[in-house]
Amino acid sequence: MSGAVLEEMKTHAREAYPEECCGFLIGAGVSAEDDGPRAILALERARNESDGPRQRRFLIPAEELRQMERRVEPSGRTVVGFYHSHPDHPARPSQLDQDGAWPGYSYVVLSVNPADVPDVAAFQLDPDSLAFREVRLSILDTPALPPARTGGQARA
């Protein structure tokens, strides 16, 4: 992903603090079955619709995910994953994150505190073990796509 996309994600995490932020990772021409590297070209913020404690939970409604998929499809782009923050906790998926994850998608977790976003990490769910494995997150000097505002069911 570009540095601009990463900075936008960090900004979202700081703005949502002390609640979890969440959103979509948008890529090009990659299916959920493709286990190779992914280029995150843009992100789209989502509403945290969790009815539980939003400081420790997020929920992206399924209809929001379907709308996002329909919106980006004409451009040849696709939802390749999701991001969310962990206020005052490490950038590691929780058991709840893992239980709600889908194979084939990328997951970015940001650790956020009142002053900073000190850590960001990326993960994929192993389809055989259904456990998260950390994947390398590279910051590239490529331009990000401009965000298109809209408001999927991803939950943690």
Would you kindly state where each structural domain of the chain is located, as residue ranges?
3-141
Q: What is the mean pLDDT of residues 98-107?
A: 92
Q: Supply the mean pLDDT for the chain.
A: 87
Nearest in space to 43 (alpha carbons), one of 8, 72, 70: 8
At the topology level of CATH, where does 3-141 sit?
Cytidine Deaminase; domain 2 (3.40.140)
Least confident stretch, 7-16, 77-86, 104-113, 146-155:
146-155
Structure tokens at 150: 């809209």
Q: What is the pTM of this model?
A: 0.86
For residue 2, give the DSSP letter.
B
Least confident stretch, 112-116, 134-138, 141-145:
141-145
DSSP string over 60-91: E-HHHHHHHHHHHGGGTEEEEEEEEEEETS-S
